[in-house]
Amino acid sequence: MMRQTRFFGMLKGISPVCLLVVCSFIAQVFPLSSTVYPMSRKEHVEVPENYGGSLPLYLKKVNLAVDGQANIQLVGNEEGLFGIEPESGILYVTRPLDREKQAFYTLQVIAKDEDEQPVSDPVTITITVKDENDNMPVLTEEVFSGILSKGTKQGTSFVHVSAIDLDDPSTPNANLQYKILTQTPRQPSENMFEINSRTGAVFLSAEGSSLLNSSEVSNYQLIVQVKDLGNQSLGYRALATVEITIVENTWIAPSPVLLQENLNVTYPKIISQVRWNSREVHYSLKKNFPQGLFSIDPAGNIYVTQELDRESQAEYEIQVFAENQDGMLYSDPLLLLLTVLDENDNMPVFTQDVYQVAIEENTAKGSEIITVKAEDIDDPNTNNAKIVYEILSQKPQASTGFSFHIGNETGIVTLQDSALNASAVKQYHLLVLVADLVGHEGGLNSTCTVFITILDVNDNPPVFSQTKYGPFPFPEDTEVGTLITTITATDEDEEKRFKSIVFAVESGNEDRTFRIVNEPPNGTVSIWLEQELDYETVQEYLLIVSARNEEKLVGKELDASSTATVHILVKDVNEAPVLTKKKYEVSILENVEPGTLLLTVKAADPDIFNAPSLSYSLRNDTLNWFSIDEYSGEVKVMKVLDRETVKDIYLMQVVVQDKASPSMTVSTDIVIHILDVNDNPPYLVGDYSASYLCTPQREKQSIIISAFDQDGAENSIPFSFSLANDPTHQRNWRINIINDTHAYLIMGISWLEPKLHLVPIILKDSGIPSQTQHVHLPVTICLCTTEGQCMQEVGRMEGRPTVLSAVSIIVGTIGAIGIFLLIIFVHLSLLGANKKKTNKACDMMPLQSTA
């Protein structure tokens, strides 16, 4: 495929002399049509081209697998070049074949019977004519000529020598190799040029590249040999003449181009031109512009294809390339600079359509109010983008002209009027114009609107309606959160934010007894009780309340009218006693002696102006363990304490009462932690009556025993389990500790008498000093079944009948049955008697039954 591609590339520029030869070659190598056969067995055979031996030439035997006689037909043999022997099935060729005429033949061998019906699958045979080197290279031109420009890069071809060989392009027979035989003249070097042995491309050698610019030779002639069979010594040859003309370098950077934007001309428009001296040259453009905006034709003319917009792109850097037909650069690319000239096609535009600003009515004359800004995207270096500002109109109008001024170039709006009055004019409306071309005629312009709001200032302080309020009497037990009073101040300003008043207590509330709640929009303040009043501490309050605006006062200072005094009187109330502590908590040993002082409760009467008269009493002392002195508040132990009864903590209360006002009482909790003393011995817990041990002793049998002590953990666990100090018991039993409260009891020997045994066990706690308990644990020792069940001797069951009573019961039962049968027999025998007798007999029957 690569050879075919190269072959068709060589057809470019072929001379008319060789056209017929080329067409013949194409027809032989690529036949236009071939016969299409149905699916069959396929075979292949190769035949040498120009066979010179005896004919016919037998090619191969075709196996058709035919039984009996058959008519053998050869399809695709229209020219009669091939034949097949019917008997042997041998395929043969009748005369020499020319590959250049036809390289492939396709035959189909079919066997048919007398009715012309196929008797076996057809065989398709492809015959390839094996190429012989019987064609010499044919040059595509009689003389090849090229133009070589000084400055051409070494290795870049400027002319191509081409030839055609009709032999098989897939074999060395058509593998053409190019070689320069002679160069005329040989100055300044005999090796000025090189040729690509495969493609025939002629280019400057490294030596030629360095000598060409200084050489005075203007023409060269090369004799180039074209040979087939590749690098083999044999093969056909052809000689080509190459005429080379040396020319000066015309590859010069074009002058910069200035092009007006929005230019109304016919496009494409030539804007510049470049030229490279060569017959084989292709121009191209690259760099930073949209595809298709610029183009270049084969003559080197550079075009712009449409109008340019400077605001989209003001400058272009266009690279121009000159390449040979292989895509190689002849020289470094040229740079064309294009500048787009501006046209005043953009009006100045404000950054905002509407500007809004607010200023105070006391703003000084000459103050900067706001800056409006416009932009013109035309060339800033021209008047097209130089803008000026102007106020066109003002609403409402001032009697002396405009109240405001705008900087011609800056767009800064300043105040010209020193007497703004918010009550007279609350807002001004300015129409501002901006124009380019420095405001000259013919320029473009646009407008914006500026709204200037005049703000009121806070120049009136708040004033109380009166300077003194009260007095307001309140008892000292008034609940926290009670409203004391509400006072009001007014402000003559118009703006709500200037009428908003904040109140503060300047003095008289250092202990924060009161809290004020501001309502700035309403101009009121509420005074609330924040802490409890105490007549014994403070009998009256004088609160100095001030009123201020939230906004800063302008042009005036606060005076006495912005301050008021609130007088509050505290009335005495008889109060309940007060304890020095809200809760008492004490610890005491449970074995403390009665009469011991536990603690003293202290209380005071807050009514310091009255003589104290307090009494103390106990409440919730359910066990009557304690007593309290009515006057001193001393609490003492009255009875022996027992921690185990109350589980560590005993709770009670002390009540303090004002004798002058019995309803005035106060109480406090007393938490008494009764500390444990080791005054209880441990004892066994649990029911062991169903427990037993088997004798003889069995493996892993035991009785788990558990102990408990009512004392606390520090005076109880761990328990000590031991046997009484008796040799027999020490021999018969063993105790193994499990944990702090449990132990195993097991047999010490393998056999004990089956009966109930009393095992003496000594229990001991861990208290200091310790407590000991001696117990006798009843343990049943019994003979056991194989399953480990205890077998016990059974006595007579209570209530179980004796033999005599059983016999009596049986005899009685039999007698009753006999009497019943007798009655039935008598009844049946009397059925035949008369009715009177029957009735008499019926009357007698219940008597007998009763008897």
Report yes or no on 838 lying in a domain: no
Please name which of 72, 55, 61 lies closest in space to residue 112, comparing C-alpha atoms.
72
The CATH number linked to 725 is: 2.60.40.60
DSSP code at position 186: -
- Residues 415 and 493 grouped into a single domain: no
**Closest by alpha carbon to 189, among 205, 208, 204?**
208
451 and 414 share a domain? yes
Residue showing tokens 């505290």: 570
Whether 820 has a pLDDT exceeding 50, the answer reads: yes
User: 513-532 pLDDT, tens per residue?
Assistant: 999 999 888 889 999 999 99
CA distance linking residue 93 with residue 84, whole number of Å:
9
> Which pLDDT belongs to residue 797?
40
Domain membership of residue 121 (yes or no) is yes
Confidence band of 410 (pLDDT split at 50, 70, 90): very high
Average pLDDT over residues 246-251: 91
Q: Could you report the per-residue pLDDT of 138-181, keeping only the tens digit for each?
A: 999 999 999 999 989 999 999 999 999 999 999 999 999 999 99
Partners of 242 in the β-ladder: 144, 222
Judge whether 616 and 594 are in contact, CB under 8 Å: no
CB 744 within 8 A of CB 766: no
Per-residue pLDDT, 496? 82
Question: In terms of Cα–Cα distance, which of 291, 149, 146, 296 is closest to 221?
Answer: 146
602 and 661 both lie in a single domain: yes
And the tokens for 570? 């505290």
Q: Over 70: is that where the pLDDT of 310 sits?
A: yes
pLDDT of residue 668: 92
Statement: residue 8 has pLDDT above 70: no
Based on the domain organization, do 150 and 219 belong to the same domain? yes
Within a domain: 544: yes
How many angstroms separate the CA atoms of 125 and 112, rounded?
A: 18
- Identify the bridge partners of residue 845 per DSSP, sorted by sequence position: none
Which two three-digit tokens encode residue 607? 């009514």
Domain co-membership, 383 together with 450: yes
Task: Give percent of the chain above pLDDT 90.
Answer: 56
Domain assignment present for 32: no
C-alpha 685, offset from chain centre: 65
Rounded to 5°, the CA angle 762-767-768 comes to 115
Task: List C-alpha distances in Å: 780 to 689, 691, 743, 747, 748.
Answer: 8, 7, 18, 11, 15
pLDDT the model gives residue 383: 92
Asked if residue 625 is part of any domain, the answer here is yes
SS3 838: helix
Q: Give me 190's structure tokens.
A: 């005999």
- State the pLDDT confidence band at 676, using cuts at 50, 70 and 90: confident
State whether 423 and 518 are in the same domain.
Answer: no
Query: What is the SS3 assignment for 594-662?
Result: CCCEEEECCEECCCCCCCCCEEEEEECCCCCCEEECCCCCEEEECCCCCHHHHCCEEEEEEEEEECCEE
Instruction: Determine the average pLDDT of the residues in 419-437.
Output: 88
Same structural domain for residues 470 and 513?
A: yes
Q: How does DSSP classify residue 847?
A: H
Q: What angle do CA 386, 390, 396 make, to 5 degrees?
A: 160
pLDDT for the residue numbered 837: 42
| 395/299 same-domain check | no
pLDDT band (50, 70, 90) for residue 646: confident
Domain end call among 108, 130, 152? 130
Query: How far apart, in whole angstroms, are the C-alpha atoms of residue 204 and residue 150?
Result: 10
Q: What is the pLDDT of residues 316-343, one digit of tens each?
A: 999 999 999 889 999 999 999 999 999 9
- The mean pLDDT value for 382-407 works out to 91
Q: With beta carbons less than 8 A apart as the criterion, state whether 629 and 584 touch.
A: no
- Each residue of 755-805: pLDDT tens digit? 999 999 999 988 888 889 999 999 999 999 988 889 865 444 445 455 455
pTM higher than the cut 0.85: no
Q: Which domain-ending residue is among 325, 341, 357? A: 341
pLDDT by residue (tens digit) across 189-213?
Answer: 999 999 999 999 999 999 998 998 8
Instruction: Check residues 821 and 126 and name the one with the higher pLDDT.
Output: 126
Q: What is the mean pLDDT of the chain?
A: 85
Rounded-to-integer distance, Cα 819 and Cα 429, Å: 142
> What interhelical angle do 835-850 and 803-829 show, nearest 10?
170
Residues 273 and 324 in one domain: yes
450-473: average pLDDT = 90
660 in the same domain as 584: yes
Closest by CA position to 752, among listed 709, 697, 705, 715 = 697
Q: Are the CB atoms for 747 and 695 separated by under 8 Å?
A: yes
Give domain status of residue 808, yes or no: no
SS3 258: strand
How many domains is the chain built from? 7
Is residue 135 classed as helix, strand or coil in its secondary structure? Answer: coil
Of the three residues 409, 431, 455, the one that is the final residue of a domain is 455
User: Over the stretch 42-53, which tens digit does the pLDDT of each residue have?
Assistant: 999 999 999 988
Residue 696 lies in a domain: yes
CB-side neighbour CA atoms (13 Å) of 787: 2
Widest pairwise Cα distance in the chain: 189
DSSP 276: -
Cis peptide before 122 (omega within 30 of 0): no
**Is residue 716, in this structure, part of any structural domain at all?**
yes
What whole-number distance in Å separates Cα of residue 460 and Cα of residue 185?
Answer: 112
Asked if pLDDT for residue 30 goes beyond 90, the answer is no
Identify the domain containing residue 499 by its residue range: 463-567
The amino acid that residue 712 corresponds to is G
Residue range 394-402: mean pLDDT, rounded? 86
**325 and 231: one domain?**
no
Other CB atoms closer than 10 Å to residue 153's CB: what's the count?
A: 14
Helical (H) or strand (E) element with 570: strand 563-571
| pLDDT classification of 57: cutoffs 50, 70, 90 | very high
Residue entry with tokens 């090369």? 222
Task: Specify the higher pLDDT residue, 84 or 837.
Answer: 84
Q: How far apart (Å, rounded) are the C-alpha atoms in residues 112 and 118?
A: 4
- Considering the domain architecture, whether residues 520 and 484 belong to the same structural domain is answered as yes
